[in-house]
Amino acid sequence: MAKPAKNKKLGRNDPCHCGSGRKYKDCHLIIEEAARSEQLLLRQAQDSLLPKIIEAAQSVPEQFPEAFARFWQNKYPFEQMSDLDAVEDRGAERFLTWFAFDFHMNNGRTLVEQLNIAADEGSFEVDPYERRLLEQWRTVRLRPYIVAEIRKGKGMLLRDLLGEQEFDVTDYNAAKRLEVGEVVVGHLTPADTPLDAPVPNYYLGGAAAHLTNDTPQKLVEFAELHLADMRRERPDVTWSDLLEERSEVLNHFVIALPREAPDPSVMERLVSDGRIALQLTKESVASLLGRMLPKDEEPEEPEAEKTDDSEEKPA
């Protein structure tokens, strides 16, 4: 059966749109109202859960200094934490969000993973809706996304810069501040997803960094250096492994960018300095990532002198 047009409101006594022949009030009305109120409760849980998690972070202050140094690449002393919201755009909040989702504590778990256990044991109090989100948030990590589409008043479509996946982000407040082509480095948290929906609704959880539209390609190049570096030891590592172990490098890229006018030379330097710091050449990066060096890019290291032996004999 065809569903009624969305703008036409079905009366309580009208036949139900499902074609059962029963009145709407005796059929799908109740189910649909329940789904709506459940979605509302999940949305409220999204708003209440993150502050609870951040509050729980305050109970493990001994874990902060190491995490802080890693996230800010030793750019700031830990004592400066409280100034960072001013110095770096929402810096303290961005750090705490990363700490909660990404940083592996002494016990090997992230705070969100730890809180899932604590919730089961009853030592972290959450309501059933918060509990459901907390479970889904276990695997959320800091990632870079490009804004693929803005849907006014509804949200936006974000594409993972380190993959092909696209995410429907129903966070229309976040969408208001963004434009197509810009980059968001943040945490996409599944939120008020209706039970029968095929894919989750996502929100930007906590504070995210927002980059101009000249940055996506260089950000990927920068991240690729770290992927190449990891592949020297473990040739099979993927983007997920990188983000599991080193998602702070995304923030290192963010904090190196100029805050006023765009400056392409800064990004160029960021990538070449990164390559030097990791002791990689353009050639080794290309080969570790399993691709050819573009023809216009000369290898930095002189090739071994060609001898007659290296030339292939015609068959």
The end-to-end CA distance of the chain, in Å, is 69
Q: For residue 28, state whether it binds Zn ion (rule: CB under 5 A).
A: yes
What tokens appear for 240 in the block? 């997920």
**Closest approach of Zn ion to the CB of residue 38, in Å:** 18
DSSP lists the bridge partners of residue 185 as 144, 209
Which residue's CB is nearer to Zn ion, number 3 or number 234? 3
Q: For residue 18, state whether it binds Zn ion (rule: CB under 5 A).
A: yes
Distance CA 96, CA 103 (A): 10
- SS3 state at 141: coil
**Segment lying near Zn ion (by CB under 5 A), choices 3-11, 28-36, 250-258, 277-285:** 28-36
Q: For residue 27, state whether it binds Zn ion (rule: CB under 5 A).
A: yes
What tokens appear for 171 in the block? 């966070």
Give the length of the chain: 315
Distance CA 163, CA 287 (A): 19
Which residue's CB is nearer to Zn ion, number 17 or number 159? 17
Say which amino acid occupies 104.
H
**Closest approach of Zn ion to the CB of residue 9, in Å:** 15
Which residue's CB is nearer to Zn ion, number 14 or number 160? 14
DSSP lists the bridge partners of residue 186 as 143
Q: For residue 20, state whether it binds Zn ion (rule: CB under 5 A).
A: yes
Distance CA 160, CA 183 (A): 10
**Segment lying near Zn ion (by CB under 5 A), choices 10-18, 136-144, 158-166, 237-245:** 10-18
Q: For residue 23, state whether it binds Zn ion (rule: CB under 5 A).
A: no
**Closest approach of Zn ion to the CB of residue 23, in Å:** 9
**Closest approach of Zn ion to the CB of residue 18, in Å:** 3
CB distance 27 to 15 below 8 Å: no
Which residue's CB is nearer to Zn ion, number 18 or number 40? 18
DSSP lists the bridge partners of residue 147 as 158
Which residue's CB is nearer to Zn ion, number 27 or number 118? 27
Q: For residue 75, state whether it binds Zn ion (rule: CB under 5 A).
A: no
Q: Which residues bind Zn ion (CB under 5 A)?
A: 16, 18, 20, 27-28
